[in-house]
Amino acid sequence: MALADVFTGAIWFGPAYLLIIATSAWCLGSRTAVFAGCACLAISIAANGYQVYPYGALAAAWNMAMRVVMVLAVVAVAAKLRGAYEAEWRLARTDRLTGALSRQGFFELASDMKESRSWTLLAYADLDGLKKLNDRQGHRAGDEGLHLFSKRVLQMIRKGDKFARLGGDEFAIYLQVKDEEAAKSVATRLHAGMNTVPGTKWPLRCSVGALILPPGPRSIDTELCAADELMYEAKALGASLIAATASHQNGDLKTIERHPGLTPATGKLRLRLAASN
């Protein structure tokens, strides 16, 4: 843009510079946009000097002051719009009761990951006894249980980890870990924490299916299916944890190793896997 401004001379590039500044504010933040605005002003002065200000130094100074004010105004408006957009995006994709991602939000974020360079843990959790709690104590008690459970999970995971309410009493946690041993440790910690939720009068037990994935391709639909099956095994044992390491091989997700040391479960895992999208 600077080269075009230099070589065209008489053509006014103000709107183009404002577009650069507004785009910077939207995509990169206010500080970067202010820096971009200062750079654009410097380029404009270097390219044109004072030849566009034939009315003297005072007029040039006022003109430059107005340019600075307009740059700051554009940055402020773009940043405000970006903040409002992000707030609405989060609101549309967040479950209001629990503060977790909604099913839509989870799939939108997770489906973008087609390949992972690190180990990944996908935990599928189900709250045992929520229906009984709703029937005996009322839905307010059930809502309180869901809220406290989600609050507990959010305290145990990192800001960048994905935690979602998939529907009713089912939740998913999708996070990156250092290696397989770290994944097993995190799964055990999460399961223990989910079954020791403080502050609730009617504690809910939690069954967890933990799918551990090495670096490589990802398919959230297939992986969620596998984690769901692990969770049903855990539920049959009663608020247990079932974990297994699996890998994508020739388009299919195949079990590499069970981790019976984490749970009392034994035997081989049988996965009914959906075709990868």
- Residues taking part in catalysis: 169
Strand boundaries in the chain, DSSP class E: 115-116, 119-128, 162-167, 170-177, 205-213, 216-217, 241-249, 252-258
Q: Which two tokens stand for residue 196?
A: 């020791």
Q: Which two tokens stand for residue 127?
A: 């709250």
The amino acid occupying position 88 is: E
Label the pairing between strands 205-213 and 241-249.
parallel
- CA atoms of 46 and 35, how far apart (whole Å): 16
Q: Which residues pair with 52 in a beta bridge?
A: none
11 φ/ψ angles, rounded to the nearest 5 degrees: -75, 135
The helix, strand and coil proportions of the chain, stated in percent and rounded to the nearest 5, come to 55, 20, 25
Nearest to 171 by CA among 240, 258, 98, 87: 98
Q: For residues 61 and 58, give the distance between their C-alpha atoms in angstroms, rounded to a whole number.
A: 5
Residue showing tokens 């009322």: 138
Direct distance between the N- and C-terminal alpha carbons of the chain, in angstroms, rounded to an integer: 42
Q: What is the DSSP letter of 261?
A: G
99, 154 Cβ separation under 8 angstroms = yes
